[in-house]
């Protein structure tokens, strides 16, 4: 039997001992109050998150991949962050990858015993042919999930940079990684339900790492997503609005130049700001490693 008694994520929250007697408003208020602790806990690990962003940027610049590994809620959060990167930043789907214990089917239904496997993560990492260029980020609220422990151990021995994100201090996965990010959010409102505060903390940290890394490789100009994929009508409109915001041009001009740029928002912005054609803008961007701010100065 696994001893969970010492894990902060498994302790009882003294502020919600009467949870079953609370009114709906009292439940919402209690949860909202506890959620304030998440940002406070993350504030204490910002230097580690900054390092993770630097590593992520370096990895992507060197044509490596950011690979999340986790089980249950943690695994689903990794998958969620990974699948949102292509439409937001225009990167290939294999640049940020999520691996979950039990495979993609475990995203919608738990696979019994998968998180306790000491070999599955190794098999999953081998299946995607990891290389020393890749950054492996292990996620486990409790910090003790065998799937993640052995995945990080294998990745480290393979020569990859490794990061662990847990919500317990001196976690087992943290000991396996080169960098440990451990926000201590405290006991859950519902004892042991780490899909709550711990899950939110992990999601917030993944938001920072992936967004920060993408900013580092030039996927953002000012605070605009200039490499978004235009996969629906809303995103076509957003693309035009981004060009307008970045250049102060008219709607007609944005549409005209976006067409000339073959749908590339980034290219269209440089064309307008430098008053040049698509080929000249592409050369400028290439020399600037894809960064608009560098290209236009």
178 in Cβ contact with 162 (< 8 Å): yes
Rounded to 5°, the CA angle 111-117-123 comes to 95
Length of the chain: 297
Considering the candidates 10, 84, 245, 256, report the single residue annotated as catalytic.
84
Considering the candidates 34, 115, 182, 188, report the single residue annotated as catalytic.
115
Q: How far is CA 97 from its chain centroid? A: 10
Q: How far is CA 56 from its chain centroid? A: 10
Placement of tokens 């490499």 in the chain: 227
Please indicate whether residue 26 is annotated as part of the active site: no
Q: How far apart are CA 210 and CA 81, in angstroms?
A: 8
Please indicate whether residue 10 is annotated as part of the active site: no
Most distant CA pair in the chain, distance: 68
Phi then psi for residue 179, to 5 deg, are -140, 125
> Would you please indicate which residues are annotated as catalytic (active-site) residues?
84, 115
């Amino acid at each position: 039997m696994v001893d969970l008694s010492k894990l902060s994520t498994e302790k009882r929250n003294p502020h919600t001992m009467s949870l079953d007697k609370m009114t709906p408003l009292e439940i919402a208020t209690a949860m909202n109050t506890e959620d304030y602790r998440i940002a406070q806990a993350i504030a204490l690990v910002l230097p580690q998150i900054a390092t993770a962003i630097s590593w992520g940027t370096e990895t992507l610049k060197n044509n490596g991949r950011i690979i999340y590994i986790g089980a249950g809620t943690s695994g689903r959060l990794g998958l969620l962050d990974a699948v949102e990167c292509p439409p937001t930043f225009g990167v290939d789907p294999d640049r940020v990858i999520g691996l979950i214990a039990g495979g993609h089917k475990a995203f919608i239904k738990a696979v019994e015993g998968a998180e306790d496997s000491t070999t599955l993560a190794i098999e999953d990492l081998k299946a995607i042919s990891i290389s020393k260029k890749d950054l492996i980020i292990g996620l486990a609220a409790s910090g003790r999930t065998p799937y993640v422990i052995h995945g990080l151990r294998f990745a480290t021995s393979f020569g990859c940079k490794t990061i662990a994100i847990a919500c317990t201090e001196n976690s087992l996965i943290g000991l396996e990684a080169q960098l440990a990010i451990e926000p201590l959010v405290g006991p859950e409102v519902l004892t042991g339900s780490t899909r709550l505060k711990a899950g939110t903390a992990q999601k917030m940290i993944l938001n920072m790492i992936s967004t920060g890394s993408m900013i580092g490789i030039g996927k953002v100009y000012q605070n605009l997503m200039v490499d978004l994929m235009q996969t629906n009508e809303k995103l076509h409109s957003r693309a035009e609005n981004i060009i307008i915001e970045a250049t102060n041009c008219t709607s007609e001009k944005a549409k005209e130049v976006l067409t000339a740029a073959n749908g590339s928002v980034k290219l269209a912005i440089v064309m307008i700001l430098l008053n040049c054609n698509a080929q000249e803008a592409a050369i400028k961007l290439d020399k600037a490693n894809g960064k608009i701010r560098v290209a236009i100065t």
